[in-house]
Homo-oligomer: A and B are copies of this chain.
Amino acid sequence: MISTKQPISIEQPESTSLVAFIRSTIPMPHEKAQDIAAQFQPRILKRHEYVLQEGNIGKEAFFLESGYLRAFVNDPDGNDVTINIFAPNSFVNNLVSFFRREPSEENIQAVTDCVVWAISYDALQTLFHGMPEFREFGRMMLIMNNLALKDRIVSMIRNTAEERYAALLQSKPDVFQHVPLKMIASFLGITDTSLSRIRRDFAQK
């Protein structure tokens, strides 16, 4: 029997990939992870749609279920610099802007149509205060991000552009099927021209 005081139970969609992602980040009971995932709302992004524009403060954080996003900044010469490419099963956010509540210097935009799960800043704060596991999850996001950035810096210092290309090709081959090479080149720290030559030479080996 349905209570008249409660809203009618709405079928709440749920992302199994988000639950799996949460549990792989911080081990916790399945139900706990489901409670967390239930705070996320599904959304479809069209290609070229922004989830964050520079100058704004991030209102939501996202889990990317399918599709590709990129983060980029505009440099003084009018070129844009791709600073990150997000593949499915990633947590997408400008953590600095989001947690410090300050205007973002970067943009985050859908490269392809995407399915994401969004959580508002307020809902996230509620989770932070009420659920220690989630606090850990947030901290782990920051730490993993840190690790990834540091690895990238080491790679920029000590590897050639070709080595960085080969590494990306191995770790995320799917990216090359969905993200324009121009953006990948920028992400790797080279021009699209150089990437094109690297690909040619690389294929001959």
User: Which of A's residues lie within 8 Å of B, judged by CB?
Assistant: 73, 75, 79, 81, 83, 95-96, 99-100, 138-139, 142-143, 145-147, 149-150, 152-154, 156-158, 186, 189
Closest to A186 in B: B157
Cβ-neighbour of A142 out of B83, B139, B186 (below 8 A): B139
A154 touches B83 (CB 8 A): yes
Cβ-neighbour of A157 out of B83, B96, B158 (below 8 A): B83
A99 CB → nearest B CB, Å: 6
Contacts A99-B139, A99-B143, A143-B99 given: A153-B154 contact, CB under 8 Å?
A: no
A125 CB → nearest B CB, Å: 13
Give chain B residues whose Cβ lies under 8 Å from the Cβ of A81. 154, 157-158
Some 9 contacts from A to B, beta carbons below 8 A apart, are: A83-B154, A95-B146, A96-B150, A99-B143, A145-B146, A149-B149, A149-B153, A153-B153, A153-B156
